[in-house]
Structure 1
Amino acid sequence: MSEKVIADFVARFTLDSFDSPEPVKGRIVLSRRRLVLATGDAKSQVALSDIFDVNVGYVPGDLESFFQDTVTIAHRTEGESRVAVIEAGSEEVSRFKTVLFKATLNGTRTHIKHPARVGGRVTDASFRRAKLAIEPGTVKFAAEEPLTVELANVTYFRKESRDGGPVIVLRHAEEGQPVTSEFALESERKLNLLGRYLRLEYSELAEKVEELTISEEEMEALVAVYSGARTGDLAGTLGLDSSRVTMLLNDLREKGLVDEGEKGLSLTAQGRLLVSDRIESVNT
């Protein structure tokens, strides 16, 4: 394979084109054009243009007993729908999933309407051309007026039909208020892949947040940080003494909800998701 390799590791996998449904150990090689699964005895190639779905954790019923942490890749080859299931450690699965989505989606020609709505108000925005780029937890659209959507700020998304074809409708918080954007991709296959990426990334964030127990006082502190309050401002903003604010921030750091870097106090992705949910409930 002459093209540049972007992932290369050893894992267990099974593929419809192999004789046995039981997983085998072999080499997984990914380029920007194809996925190769090879053992000492056999090799199979999947063109990225044939992939129509990627899932994490799901395994077809007849293979469920064989696998644990998995990436399941559905593809259409020679007119037939087939499935490849790859198993590796949870961190390796997460990295491979991201690289695979980037390889299949980055650079895709896109049309975006932003903002299609601000709160409940429909705007006069029209669709404009852009190029798609994804990163863990982020979707970016390179255009004359670029747009970056942090998935932690997303409160709603789904696929809908329009006169020009299907679109993804996505509602997210922007500068403290809910806005709605619409995205149309060059093919419905890629639109479905983007929808899957959004669901997987959002679900992963949401699961982490659901495991947390947050007091009302902690939530008020998160909202204040989201609104731009600095460490020295929080005591006055929250009406608390400085020692209580220090304890609150320590607890929020331990829960992975705030971080203090070179630019000062900020929310993590999980912290932004919690605040986005609060903003959405207040504005509904």
Structure 2
Amino acid sequence: MSEKVIADFVARFTVETFETPDPVSGRIVLSRRRLVLATSDSKTTIPLSAIFDINVGQVPGDLDEFFQDTITIAYEVDGTRRVAVIEAGTEEVTRFKTVLFKAQLSGSQTRIKHPARVGGRVTDSTFRPAKLRIRPGVVRFVCSDPVTVNLANVTYFEKARREVGTVVAVRHADEGQSVTSEFALENDRKLNLLGRYLRLEYSELAQAAEEVDVSEGEVEALVAIYSGGRSGDLAGMLGVDSSRVTMLLNDLREKGLVDEGQKGLSLTAQGQLLVSDRIETVNT
């Protein structure tokens, strides 16, 4: 491989072209053009342009018994769809996931509309060209007025149809506000991969939020803050005295659910997820 190598490590893996599903030990080599899975007597080369899905922890059913911490790569060669499964340590899988998505997506041409919404208000922003950059935990759109989306602050996303075609709409916290950004990529394959990357990051965050133990009073305080309540307003909104509000806010800060920034009291990404789940439960 003449191009620059951006990942090179040893792991267990299997490819659908193997005679048996049993994983083998070998070398994983990634460049910006291809992924190579090699053993002492075989080599599988996967062009990055052939990869249409990347997943972590989800193994096809007939391979489930063979693997633990995994990254599954779906690709298409000569009209045939195939799957390769790589197993490594949790940290290695996490790092390789980021590097692989970065190799696939960084530098891609995009069109972005930011902010498309601020809270529930639709803005008059229009789509403008930008280049996509992927860094650990961050999606950045480089243009005359760059936009950075911290993936830890993403609370919701969906695909939608707009005048520029299919877009991904992402709701995220930005300096204490809930804003929605919309972006389209140069082709559907890359748009699907970016959607998968966001889903993986969102799932990790949602799982962490589920493990946080909150009382009914704390949830009510989170909902009040989400609705625009400031520190000085919460006692009246919640019907409690100021000392109780102080205790609630201290507990919520310790649990990583609220933050006090330049624009005042706001919810962290985990706090927003908990509130979103609560509102959806009430509305169903």
- Deviation of residue 137 (structure 1)? 2.6
Aligned to 1:32: 32
Q: Deviation per CA, 1:149-183, whole angstroms, max 9, x where unpaired?
A: 12233222111223432111122233333322210
Deviates more, 1:83-92 or 1:214-223: 214-223
Aligned to 1:59: 59
Aligned to 2:172: 172
Aligned to 2:14: 14
Letter in 2 for 1:54: I
The 3 A distance-change label for structure 1 pair 76 and 246 is: same
- Deviation of residue 125 (structure 1)? 1.3
The 3 A distance-change label for structure 1 pair 130 and 275 is: farther
Contact 1:152/1:273 (8 A) holds in 2:
no
What SS does the aligned partner of 1:132 have?
Answer: strand
What SS does the aligned partner of 1:17 have?
Answer: coil
Q: Structure 1: how far apart are the matches of 2:90 and 2:155?
A: 26
Q: Structure 2: how far apart are the matches of 1:217 and 1:68?
A: 39
What SS does the aligned partner of 1:209 have?
Answer: helix
Alignment of 1:178-189 (within 5 A): 178-189=178-189
- Deviation of residue 90 (structure 1)? 1.3
Q: Give RMSD over aligned pairs.
A: 3.7
Unaligned runs of 5+ in 2: 261-265
Q: Structure 1: how far apart are the matches of 2:50 and 2:94?
A: 21
Identity of aligned residues (%): 66
Unaligned runs of 5+ in 1: 261-265
Alignment of 1:104-143 (within 5 A): 104-143=104-143
What SS does the aligned partner of 2:100 have?
Answer: helix
Q: Structure 1: how far apart are the matches of 2:6 and 2:159?
A: 30
Aligned to 2:195: 195
Deviates more, 1:150-159 or 1:40-49: 150-159
What SS does the aligned partner of 2:83 have?
Answer: strand
Q: Structure 2: how far apart are the matches of 1:153 and 1:276?
A: 13
Q: Structure 2: how far apart are the matches of 1:107 and 1:189?
A: 15
Contact 1:178/1:280 (8 A) holds in 2:
no
What SS does the aligned partner of 2:2 have?
Answer: coil
Q: Structure 2: how far apart are the matches of 1:10 and 1:208?
A: 30
Letter in 2 for 1:91: E
Letter in 2 for 1:195: G
Deviates more, 1:74-83 or 1:150-159: 150-159
Aligned to 2:214: 214
The 3 A distance-change label for structure 1 pair 90 and 166 is: same
Letter in 2 for 1:188: D
